[in-house]
């Protein structure tokens, strides 16, 4: 992979202030992309990512909006396109959890997770699509999850949203292929982030016992495959789900 092969490309990473999103922002900037760091509420963390990128000689911008708010998404992305040109690399990483057993899950918890994790990706793809198609080049990378494939107790909403992202990915890939746009999904396994930090030790030990590599992944180990899918090296890959999970699911 050439050092700065994404030079001149605009990349939007939703949920880019922490965890996997943060690692993706840093890696894209390292490869030369101008990175638009999306966040909803944690401005301090987003500014830290911005500072890291600028300190290393990269270009980045803060891009606050709620991915579940269609009008806010459209307004924010239109402003970016008007000032900086089309977003050529879109990484739909924003996600939340509202865990609970299905029998007692509140409708609000179901709706919030679907709206952010699944509808949010749809909103962003739709808002970026026209300018991307006019450029006749684009990379859309959705961040799924291993639980979209195997399910997980207490995560009916999260698992459904991530499984839905796989279907969305395949359809977008088919619809946009003739315009030089690829759409793929990276499905992480269990990764050391804020989301997994709060898991009880008993559950962590149980999870590690199921992973052939015997450890959780790091955000950087997810960022690498994501950035690969944004490059010319992956130009003939589309509609694909790339599992990055230490062997937890072997496909």
CA atoms in the 13 A half-sphere facing the CB of 86:
18
CA atoms within 13 A on the CB side of 147: 17
The reply to whether 158 belongs to the active site is yes
Selected catalytic residue, list 110, 158, 190, 228: 158
Helix/strand number for the chain, H first, E second:
10, 7
- Alpha-carbon gap, residue 119 to 26, rounded angstroms: 25
Half-sphere exposure for 248 (CA within 13 Å, toward CB)? 28
How far is Cα 27 from Cα 13, in angstroms, rounded to an integer? 11
Cβ–Cβ under 8 Å, residues 140 and 181: yes
In the numeric block, which tokens belong to residue 63?
């891009």
DSSP per-residue string spanning 211-242: -TTSS-B-HHHHHHHHHHHTSGGGTT--S-EE
Active site residues: 158
């Amino acid at each position: 992979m050439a050092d700065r092969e994404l030079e001149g490309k605009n990349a939007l990473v939703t949920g880019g202030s922490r965890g996997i999103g943060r690692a993706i922002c840093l890696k894209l900037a390292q490869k030369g992309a101008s990175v638009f760091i999306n966040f909803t509420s944690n401005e301090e963390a987003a500014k830290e990512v911005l500072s890291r990128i600028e300190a290393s000689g990269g270009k980045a911008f803060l891009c606050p909006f709620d991915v579940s708010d269609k009008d806010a998404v459209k307004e924010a992305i239109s402003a970016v396109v008007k000032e900086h040109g089309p977003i050529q690399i879109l990484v739909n990483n924003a996600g939340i959890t509202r865990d609970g057993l299905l029998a007692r899950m509140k409708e609000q918890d179901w709706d919030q997770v679907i709206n952010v994790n699944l509808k949010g990706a749809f909103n962003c793809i739709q808002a970026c699509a026209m300018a991307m198609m006019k450029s006749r080049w684009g990379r859309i990378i959705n961040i799924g999850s291993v639980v979209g494939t195997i399910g997980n107790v207490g995560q009916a909403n999260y698992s459904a949203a991530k499984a839905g992202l796989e279907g969305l990915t395949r359809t977008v890939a088919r619809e946009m292929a003739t315009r030089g746009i690829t759409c793929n999904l990276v499905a992480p396994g269990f990764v050391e982030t804020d989301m997994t930090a709060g898991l009880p030790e008993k559950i962590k030990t149980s999870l590690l016992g199921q992973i052939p590599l015997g450890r959780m992944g790091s955000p950087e180990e997810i960022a690498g495959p994501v950035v690969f899918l944004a490059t010319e090296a992956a130009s003939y890959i589309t509609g694909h789900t790339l599992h990055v999970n230490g062997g937890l699911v072997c496909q």
